[in-house]
Amino acid sequence: MSKNQVTNVNTQAVVGNFTQSELDTIKQTIAKGTTNEQFSLFVQTCVNSGLNPFLNHVHCIVYDGKAGPTMSIQIAVEGILFLARKTEGYKGIDAQIVHENDEFKFNAAKKEVVHEIGFPRGKIIGGYAIAKREGFDDVVVVMESTEVEHMKKGRNSTMWNQWFSDMFKKHIMKRAAKIQYGIEIAEDEPVTSAATESVSSYQSGRVDITPSTAQITVGETEVIDPDEELKTKWTEVYGKTEKLGWNRNQTSDYIKTKMKKNPKELTLQEVVGLLKLLDFELKQHPAQKENFDDLTHEFEEFKQETLL
């Protein structure tokens, strides 16, 4: 290979918009120290929210807890603003820090802020953020500095102690943005190894199979019967394994190896995860149709067993 020749890189997305190479990079850098289950949860959070860890939208913090390695997912202000700017009617967010020598007044009824800066400014005593949106009232968040004093002793204490003004401003900005633009993302909740035992683990070279949601809803009012949906998903499984040219025993062995369960024991969420794995297999291997007719009878028996 010549010095200027570039090696081929797999650019096929396997989870959301992430390629396998990108997933491996995240695991080794941004989410270093996570268990495979914690990593799967972090990736699904990124995929479901549309946030990109490579752009500092979201951070994966790992520390030693009483129950072992503990992960905390933290959404950066850059991530919140990314989602806010995509909201219809977005008109910007203004955040300011108030010092003891400033003149500050806030009319809560009219949502009006009067802020005049004085020099020397003195110590920080508070801050505020105003989030604007076309067709909506302004959202104003006002906080005293004492309300975030505990942050100086938390897991991110170094940042809060060294750059208190910046961290305080970002904190207020995130609060206002979440309220005004309806951004709902769970964050800052410790996730231990035990809490992710039911999440399928990630391994380098394998696609994540964690379902994106545990709820079965369509629109706002339609409810899907879980048993009927399970049968539907199994039918999809049979179609994909037939395309792969797998017989009954091969399919069963694959499920036991990948899912660590017998086929009849799989829940609806796990069958959805199985379908993701089979999609990945179909992309890696051409469909095999030579033995399609011979497999029909075997799969009919297999269907009856798994759907009982």
Mind listing the pLDDT tens digit for each residue in 100-135?
999 999 998 888 999 999 899 999 999 999 999 999
Query: Mean pLDDT score of the chain, rounded to an integer?
Result: 77
SS3 63: strand
Question: When comparing pLDDT for 216 and 292, which is higher?
Answer: 292
Torsion, CA 263, CA 268, CA 269, CA 272, rounded to 10 = 70
Comparison of pLDDT for 61 and 229, the residue scoring more: 61
The helix or strand, by DSSP H or E, that contains position 139, with its residue range, turns out to be strand 139-144
Give CA–CA dist 83/213, Å, rounded. Answer: 20
pLDDT of residue 285: 67
**pLDDT per residue as tens digits for the range 165-214:** 999 999 999 999 999 998 877 655 444 444 344 444 444 444 444 443 33
Q: CB under 8 Å to 244, separation ≥6 — which residues?
A: 278, 281, 282, 285, 287, 288
CA quadruple 162, 166, 169, 171: dihedral sign: negative
Instruction: Copy the structure tokens of residue 150.
Output: 């505990």
Mean pLDDT of 78-91: 93
Question: What are the pLDDT digits (tens) for 246-291?
Answer: 888 888 888 888 777 888 888 766 777 788 788 777 876 655 544 4
Q: In the predicted model, what is the mean pLDDT of residues 217-230?
A: 47
Question: If you average pLDDT over residues 61-76, what whole number do you get?
Answer: 82
How many angstroms separate the CA atoms of 246 and 256, rounded? 14
Alpha carbons 18 and 274: distance in angstroms, whole number: 19
Backbone angles phi, psi at 121, to 5 degrees: -75, -30
pLDDT number for residue 186: 60
The pLDDT assigned to 191 comes to: 46
Q: What's phi and psi for 117, nearest 5 deg?
A: -85, 135
19 SS3 class: strand
Q: Which residue has the tokens 């959301």?
A: 16
CB 69 within 8 A of CB 191: no
* Cβ contact 89:135 at 8 Å: yes
- Angle between helix 77-85 and 164-181 (nearest 10): 30
| Residue whose structure tokens are 């964690």 | 210
DSSP 203-219: -TTS-----S-S--EET
The kind and range of the H/E element at 15 are strand 13-15
Reported for 23-28, long-range contacts at CB under 8 A and 24+ positions apart, including other chains, are 23/202, 23/204, 23/208, 24/204, 26/53, 26/54, 27/202, 27/204
Q: Partners of 131 in the beta sheet?
A: 93, 139
pLDDT classification of 89: cutoffs 50, 70, 90: very high
Locate tokens 């968040």: which residue? Answer: 141
CA angle 96, 100, 106 (to 5 degrees): 55
User: Average of pLDDT values for 30-36?
Assistant: 89
Using H for helix, E for strand and C for coil, what is the string for 88-133?
A: CCEEEEEEEEEECCCEEEEECCCCEEEEECCCCCCCEEEEEEEEEE
